[in-house]
């Protein structure tokens, strides 16, 4: 597997966040009981995956740019 410099740089930032998280206790500044709005389905970045994937495909076929359209999970901590 060949990992280019660009690939390494993509991984570096989240890796640093991971390492920092191990030694820095962080208190949640939005308490679980304050996340009602964030838990609302209208706040999802990707509420309907079958619709999102189709429209992303439509654009990628016709445009030169691609990627980084945001497939990471919600992370609102509502559960």
Partner 1 sequence: MGWTRGIRARSLTATLFALAAVSRAAVLPDDRADLDWHEWQGGGVTVDGPGVLVRKKVDDSLSLSASYSVDMISSASVDVLSTASPYKEKHTEGTLSADYLHGNTIYTAGFIEGHESDYIAKTGFFSISESMFGDLTTINFGYSRGWDRVGENLHQDGVITTSWVGDADHRNWSAGLSQVLTRNVLLGVNFETAESDGYLANPYRSARYVGPDGLVHTEAQAYPDTRTGNAGSVQLKYYLPWHAALDGSYRLYHDTWGILAHTLGMGYTQPISSDWTLNANVRYYRQNAATFYADLFPYEDSQNFIARDRELAQFNDLTFGLGASWLFHPSWPHWIEKGTLNLTYDRMHIAYGDFHNYAVGGMPMGVPLYAYGADITQFFISFWY
CB of 75 to partner 1, least distance (A): 3
23 binds partner 1 (CB under 8 A): no
And the tokens for 2? 């060949």
Q: Contact, 44 vs 74, CB < 8 A?
A: yes
Pair of tokens at residue 30: 């939005």
> Can you read off the two tokens belonging to residue 61?
């076929």
Residue 14 binds partner 1, judged by CB under 8 A: yes
Window 41 to 60, contacts with partner 1 (CB under 8 A): 42-60
**Residue 19 touches partner 1, criterion: CB under 8 A:** no
Residues 6+ away with beta carbon under 8 Å from 37? 43
DSSP class of residue 37 equals T
Number of residues in contact with partner 1 under rule CB under 8 A: 65
Catalog residues that contact partner 1 under the rule CB under 8 A: 1-4, 6-7, 9-11, 13-14, 17-18, 21, 26-30, 32, 34-40, 42-79
């Amino acid at each position: 597997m060949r990992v280019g410099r660009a690939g390494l740089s993509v991984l570096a930032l989240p890796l640093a966040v991971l390492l920092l998280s191990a030694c820095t206790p962080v208190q949640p500044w939005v308490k679980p009981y304050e996340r009602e709005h964030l838990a609302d389905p209208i706040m999802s970045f990707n509420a309907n995956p079958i619709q999102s994937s189709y429209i992303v495909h439509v654009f990628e076929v016709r445009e030169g740019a691609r990627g980084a359209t945001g497939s990471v999970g919600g992370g609102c901590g509502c559960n």
